Amino acid sequence: MILSSQIFNLSIIEIINLINIAVVLISFLTLLKLDDLSESPKYYLETLFVIVLLILIIDFLNNRFLDKTYFLYPFSFFFYFLVYPLIYLYTKDLISTNQHQSFRDKWKYFVFPVIIFVVISIIYYPLAFEEKKQFHSFHISQSAEAFSPYYIFQMIVVPAYYLQLIVYLVLISLLVKFINENIHSSEVNLLIGKYSKILVFGIIFFESFIFLTTIVVDNVLDRKIIETVFLSFFIFFGLYIAFNQSIIKIQTRMALLIRKVEDQEEISKIKRLNNYDDENDFSELEELIRRFITATKIYLDPNLTIQNFSKKIHLPSKKVSFIINRCFKGNFHHFINQFRIQEATNIMHNEENVKIEDLYSKVGFNSRSTFNRVFRDFKGVSPSEYIENRKSV
């Protein structure tokens, strides 16, 4: 009874914490279902959501059950120091064409958070339990000169946090500069440019506002509400980027690839593109386009054209046409019809009594005659013959 009353007798701050936990958890589960996200950036984004979730859970547990969970305190700061490295690596991976870097190439970004964790552990864990409780009673912005362990902790952690913040702001700003110099296009406003600029200004505004509230706002509840509002903004911004990640990557890869092969002073873009022979660039772009089309199933739209498709990924149709021809050795309609015929054969395999007059419109064809002709081109037999062959087997 005592435990149950302790669980349900929640303060306003704890209720806000639980709401934040629920929002982040739902967002994380939503992220897991986005199959069109490519692996490397998706892992950074998922890890980022998990870290935010762990920070909130540790905060809630330490408010409610400090005698049981006090040992988690240094971990919450370790997670705080992981946030900006992961944001930077995620942004960098959206731009980078090198998707095969191992952890050995990225471990250096996690050294500083580990050092901070070790230092906080050395200060915190040797303390007696009553001193740990006193440690928890302070806010990071409060003066703690009378309690030397926390004062030492403040003198290390606060400057270290803002030092790391400045370093990663500079690194992300360099990515913005790279985008402007190498990816920016006068023909289209690329999403990666918008994302990176919003990210830089958002971080500056968020950290400045939180810093000011620690000075101006004395009430802990008011601070918590302000932090919750900003946390919600970053969560929804993260989800927005996640939903648009495939488009961002396709746009970025196409822009980088075309930048490599363009030479406006000499030969036409088409000729340069056809002669360009770096297969690594094209193979990665091919995989990204296939993932996007498979996940969105835009091929089911019978009115889909190269112009419609280009609008969906926010790129000029001529450039998209060049890339599709080069990556998939055929025109856009032939490329899209591959997915439609595959969808048709999946239905034939998984459903009983399939009727051709119903099937062709389900998979994105406007007429039965076109469906029959295209099906025969890909499979060597008509749809009716294919179904009969399946039955006989």
pLDDT digits (tens, 9 = 90+) for 123-139: 999 998 888 888 877 76
If asked whether residues 266 and 231 sit together in one domain, one would say no
Percent of the chain with pLDDT over 70: 81
If asked whether residues 270 and 213 sit together in one domain, one would say no
Question: Which whole number is the average pLDDT over 267-290?
Answer: 59
Closest-CA residue to 43 (of 99, 111, 113, 112): 99
Q: For residue 161, is it within any domain?
A: yes
Last residue of a domain, one of 190, 222, 243: 243
Q: For residue 34, is it within any domain?
A: yes
Q: How far apart are CA 261 and CA 274, in angstroms?
A: 9
Q: Say yes or no to pLDDT of 227 above 90.
A: no
Query: Is pLDDT larger for residue 251 or for residue 58?
Result: 58
If asked whether residues 183 and 64 sit together in one domain, one would say yes
If asked whether residues 37 and 150 sit together in one domain, one would say yes
Closest-CA residue to 124 (of 100, 79, 156): 156
If asked whether residues 147 and 108 sit together in one domain, one would say yes
6 pLDDT tier (thresholds 50, 70, 90): very low
Tell me, what CATH number does 90's domain have?
A: 1.20.1070
19 pLDDT tier (thresholds 50, 70, 90): confident
If asked whether residues 276 and 349 sit together in one domain, one would say yes
Q: How far apart are CA 202 and CA 205, in angstroms?
A: 5
Tell me, what CATH number does 372's domain have?
A: 1.10.10.60
DSSP string, 343-383: HHHHHHHHSSS--HHHHHHHTT-S-HHHHHHHHHHHHSS-H
Q: For residue 304, is it within any domain?
A: yes
Last residue of a domain, one of 189, 222, 243: 243
Query: Is pLDDT larger for residue 292 or for residue 393?
Result: 292
> What pLDDT does residue 119 have?
94
Query: Is pLDDT larger for residue 217 or for residue 83?
Result: 83
Q: Say yes or no to pLDDT of 387 above 70.
A: yes
The burial of 380, by beta-carbon neighbours within 10 Å (0-12 exposed, 13-18 middle, 19 or more buried), is given as exposed
Residue 362 phi/psi, 5° resolution?
-65, -30
> What pLDDT does residue 142 have?
67
185 pLDDT tier (thresholds 50, 70, 90): low
If asked whether residues 182 and 283 sit together in one domain, one would say no
DSSP string, 60-78: HHHHH-HHHHGGGHHHHHH
267 pLDDT tier (thresholds 50, 70, 90): very low
> What pLDDT does residue 183 have?
65
Do 365 and 340 form a contact (C-beta atoms < 8 A)?
A: yes
If asked whether residues 174 and 25 sit together in one domain, one would say yes
Do 260 and 281 form a contact (C-beta atoms < 8 A)?
A: yes
Q: For residue 124, is it within any domain?
A: yes
If asked whether residues 263 and 381 sit together in one domain, one would say yes
If asked whether residues 232 and 321 sit together in one domain, one would say no
Last residue of a domain, one of 243, 263, 285: 243
Q: Which of the residue ranges 7-21, 255-269, 349-363 would you say has the lowest mean pLDDT? A: 255-269
Host domain of residue 47: 9-243
Mean pLDDT of the chain: 79
Q: For residue 26, is it within any domain?
A: yes
If asked whether residues 222 and 326 sit together in one domain, one would say no
Q: For residue 3, is it within any domain?
A: no
Please write the tens of the pLDDT for every residue from 308-352. 888 777 777 877 887 788 777 778 888 899 999 999 998 888 887
Q: For residue 294, is it within any domain?
A: yes
Q: For residue 4, is it within any domain?
A: no
Among 154-163, 253-262, 312-321, the range of highest mean pLDDT: 154-163
145-177 burial, b for 16+ CB within 10 Å, e for fewer? eebebbeebbeebeebbeebeeebbebbeebbe
Do 126 and 149 form a contact (C-beta atoms < 8 A)?
A: no
Do 140 and 157 form a contact (C-beta atoms < 8 A)?
A: yes
Do 147 and 182 form a contact (C-beta atoms < 8 A)?
A: no
> What pLDDT does residue 266 have?
41
> What pLDDT does residue 126 have?
92
Q: How far apart are CA 364 and CA 94, in angstroms?
A: 31
> What pLDDT does residue 79 have?
94
> What pLDDT does residue 261 have?
58
3-state SS class at 141 = coil
> What pLDDT does residue 3 have?
41
If asked whether residues 19 and 144 sit together in one domain, one would say yes
What is the tally of structural domains in the chain?
2
Q: Say yes or no to pLDDT of 162 above 60.
A: yes
Q: Say yes or no to pLDDT of 63 above 50.
A: yes
Q: How far apart are CA 8 and CA 15, in angstroms?
A: 10
